[in-house]
Structure 1
């Protein structure tokens, strides 16, 4: 399907940027785009894996001034802070109380959920203000939502979810020269040869050696 899926990279884009553009950065941008970013609003990103970190960059690019980054992995929170977010570790503090304290008791205007678990989706609605938006790009496999129709109704919830149209966003990000402005490749902490692919997946899955993002190379 190369005729309909591949895009040429300009000379000022390295292979690492191109690799992340094809999925991770496009998905993060899609998530932030669905959140309806406005400069003065307050946002939260639940999950600071590779897509979550790209979501932070995209949200800041789209004009967000205040973005809370939520994760339990210190290394990921450190990169989130580097990208301009306020890191929050739910294993150390009450993040709902923290966000309420920073929003005069309202809650976040939009929550971007990138994990795909029932717990993180429930966290998203708990952190959200009435009338707010949940933008979810995490792949959910549960049979039921972790919040009820009544909760959604009472909160006037806007819920956006779905698979990123990666080709559309890749073309958009290249055309608008967004990739050149940010060091998105800083999330890549490990590189493996192609024949070591199984080991690379294990290192990433188990977060060994402080792994945030692992990539494979042919030689």
Structure 2
């Protein structure tokens, strides 16, 4: 509602083509990726699990991610959540067997960043993705589990190379004790996926994976809305 109101009062336009009206026009929405694809940072952090992404962090996807994250264009949460859902789908079991609950664990933003932006963009996208997936074959077996919290400050990573990003992220995340205890009491098989908006060097998602695994929570994979160009696998040159 907030985003719609701003569009009505101040005038809005599509982040993709600039057409007046909604934040994402139907023509641009129709070009969004509908399938996840493998991605891998280069160089890759040691031990990083399999990664899937919806598309390249460029053009429309980049404009959408930045508008949603930095300018709180909340109307973009639904289409971006759909892209994240597409990246999650390759990890979901399609065959018979015991039902497995999939937990989407969003990479948390530092509290100060959340306050400054007025929202937690990755948490919002994870919730939208889970909602989209629950309407499909996965049913109610996909839920958002905000297990992680920041425990140390993180410096701005803009301009840092892969090694500097890794050192900047080391030890900055931890599992919430109450969340870990609740997970242990659940008593049902779970598949844990770390989710984020953009895969760059892999330092952030690898830190999330580390924090979960040292707390006894195995991580099955990483899913992101987008990945920077050299992270995509199988990309046509």
Fold similarity call, TM over 0.5: no
**Which protein has greater RCO, CA pairs closer than 8 Å, 6+ apart?**
2
TM-score normalised to the size of structure 1?
A: 0.35
